[in-house]
Amino acid sequence: MLLPTPPREWSLASRLAWRMSLLMFGAIALAAAAVAWGSISTLQDLDDAGLQQQVHIVAANLPPQDTPFALPPAITKPFQDSDGDNVFIVYGPDRARLATSDAAQAAEAEIFLPRSFRQGFFRIPVLAGHKHGMVGFALPVGRRWVIVLQGREQSSVITASLMSSFMAGAVWLLMPIGFAAMMVSVLTLRRGLRPILRVSATAATVGAQPGVRLPLAGLPREVTPLVEAVNEALTRLEQIIATQRRFMAEAAHGLRTPLAVLTARLDSLQAPQAEALRRDADRMARLVSQLLSMARLESLPLTVTCQVDLREAAVEAITTLAPIAVQRGIELALLGPESPMPIQGNHDALVLALTNLIENALNHAPRGTAVEVIGSVPATISVRDAGPGIPPAEIPRLLQPFQRGAATVQGGAGLGLAIVSRIAAAHAGTINAKTGPEGGCVFTLTFPVPAI
Amino acid sequence: MRLLVIEDERELAGLIRAAMEQAGFTADHAATALAAASYLGATSYDAAILDLGLPDSDGFLLLRQLRRRNTTLPVLILTARDAPEDRVTGLDSGADDYLIKPFHMPELIARIRALLRRPNAALGIRLVLGNLVLDTVSRQTLIAGAKTHLTLRETTMLELLLRDQGRVVFREVLENRLYSFDSELGSNALEVLIHRLRRRLQESGASLTIHTVRGIGYLLSESS
């Protein structure tokens, strides 16, 4: 019925926070990439246009000769001023260099130039002083070729500076927005889930009294199906328990009424055998009573959430059994502190458990001895008799239903101690049996102490 | 002393009636809640024995109706149910005592007598156990027919124990009834008083014993 528990508990809020931050970083990275991509291609377009323009300026000013020449400074100067970033070279038909803005650069770049020129762009991967390579444009002018080379740094430097200014802006702008968004979601989640804490508090009281339903008010739509389903389950459980209770009540009535008639009839009988018959009827009545107690403990939940006084339960059990003890010539005593011994539990069940323990002791104690009920702080209660005691090996067996010790008196059904054991377990307590210091048997019930 | 036995199980009701009449009571029998209501309206009873499982109504309902009419009629509930919730409901709705079936007739008679001995019960001037008779009005104690002198406190103690004969009377109850708030109460004053009362009873040949339930109280019963 129980769902397998997940390996680790996780928090919706922290999961949301994590995902939100991941999303935010992703968004910033994506925006940065888009900006970078955009600026690079724009710059490239600009550069490409500039390159062609430069080629055409050089081409337009070529002198007609096929021998080396010098171009006017108006054209050469800007190239030379570019500090090696921009270079032009003019080749003759036999690929002899006719003119250049920078002979050294030209010589170095020459080996990387395409073997045969074709009009258009080309690339030079690496070159001293240009670790990003260069872009070139070749333009035929008659049988000659005008080549213009441009370093790639320009665009990457611009891109880098653009990127850094964008990142600065984006981080200062996007980060707070992202952080705010994250906080808002986490807080919304927290607030939205707060009614669930209230529902949990109500759920913790289920069982104390019937009719408790989890409140739906203020719950987010996402969790109402769960809460409604739980409420329906509670209704079904209560119906089952009510049916079970009714059955138990009817069984009790059905079994006890004929026994009551039998007992009453025997009580009015004066015959010599009447006493023996009365004992038989009592034995049967006791068995029925214990069977009903056992069945109730097995089939119905025991509410153990009330504040009860263990000492008071002991007093009630002793008071009930005192007349029987007097009849059998056994002294009954309550020892230990006179202050209350508060625990969480079920008063009637505790009285039943102690009644069974004391009855058991009375059954084994010889006439003239004492049965002592001893309370000890914080929540332990023992019942000690001066009977023959029990062999340690028999103890675990005795706590099982229908098991009877070797010293069992006539009439025991073997259910009493099993009932005690169930009641102790329902209270998260323990039952322990041992031989007392002066012989006899000591049964000890120990209950968990309520947290203060 | 007139009792009403409200019990649907006819055989059991017959046996109870017979036993009650043998014990000196007059007893009527009602098999349903309706019959019981009309009996209770027609004449006055000194106590009622009420079975919870009636065919036409729950015994609790009848009891609650009765208590709403503000009657102090002592009611002893007789029931086959012993679930904790039934016990709580029974005492909440104003039952004076509770006996679970099956029960022994002498026990039922003793409980009814105890209800009738209650201070608010109309009669019960003479408290009797064994060969002892205590007149609660004249404060006279007779043991085996002979007048016995007891102190005021001893008589009160005896009366308290007699009213709840066969049952444990708590120390606290005795202390509260025997000593006023301002009187200096020694830690063993009660023990001393009990000791004295025991000696007097023994000297006078009373056939009763005061048993000690250590840590809880005392119980008075006929000597076995």
How does pLDDT run across B154-166, given as a tens digit for each residue? 999 999 999 888 8
Q: Please tell me the distance from the alpha carbon of residue B2 to that of residue B17, in angstroms, as a whole number.
A: 11
Question: Given B80, B87, B166, which is nearest A348 (Cβ)?
Answer: B87
Q: Name chain B contacts of A257, Cβ cutoff 8 Å.
A: 9, 12, 80, 101
A303/A300 Cα distance (integer angstroms): 9
* CA–CA separation, A143 and A446 (whole Å): 112
Q: Which two tokens stand for residue A293?
A: 């107690």
**Mean pLDDT for chain A overall:** 84
Q: How confident is the model at residue B122 (pLDDT cuts 50, 70, 90)?
A: very low
Q: Which amino acid is at A360?
A: N
DSSP H/E element including B25: none
For residue A335, the chain B residues in CB contact (below 8 A) are 214-215
Angle between the N-to-C axes of helices A310-327 and A347-364, in degrees from 0 to 180, rounded to the nearest 10:
30
Q: For position A451, what pLDDT does the model report?
A: 66
**CA B46 – CA B115 distance, rounded (Å):** 9
pLDDT in tens, A76-87: 888 888 777 788
- Distance between CA atoms of residues A371 and A384, nearest Å: 6
Q: Tell me if B82 and A252 make a contact (CB, 8 A cut-off).
A: yes
Pairing of strands B75-79, B97-100: parallel
Distance (Å, rounded) from C-alpha A211 to C-alpha A234? 9
Tell me whether residues B216 and A326 touch, CB distance under 8 A: no
pLDDT tens sequence across A268-322 = 888 888 899 998 999 899 889 888 888 888 888 888 888 999 999 999 999 999 9
Residue of chain A minimizing CA distance to B170: A319
Question: A301 CA to chain B: closest CA distance, Å?
Answer: 12
Q: How far apart are CA A413 and CA A420, in angstroms?
A: 14
pLDDT value of position B126: 81
Q: Are B6 and B36 in contact (CB under 8 A)?
A: yes
Mean pLDDT of B195-219: 94
User: Residue A8: what pLDDT?
Assistant: 64
pTM over 0.90: no
Which residue of chain B is at minimal alpha-carbon distance from A254?
A: B80
The pLDDT tens digits of the residues spanning A40-56 come to 777 777 777 888 888 88
Q: How far B18 CA sits from the closest chain A CA (Å)?
A: 9
What's the half-sphere exposure (Cβ side, CA atoms, 13 Å) at A83?
4
pLDDT tens for A177-187 read 888 888 888 88
Spatial CA neighbour of A117 closest among A135, A98, A138:
A138
Q: How many CB atoms lie within 10 A of CB A376?
A: 14
pLDDT of residue A192: 82
- Shortest alpha-carbon distance between residue B143 and chain A (Å): 22
Instruction: Kindly write down the DSSP assignment for every residue of A163-176, as one continuous string.
Output: HHHHHHHHHHHHHH
Of B53, B216, B221, the CB nearest to A326: B221
Residues of B with Cβ-Cβ distance to A267 under 8 angstroms: 15, 19, 104-106
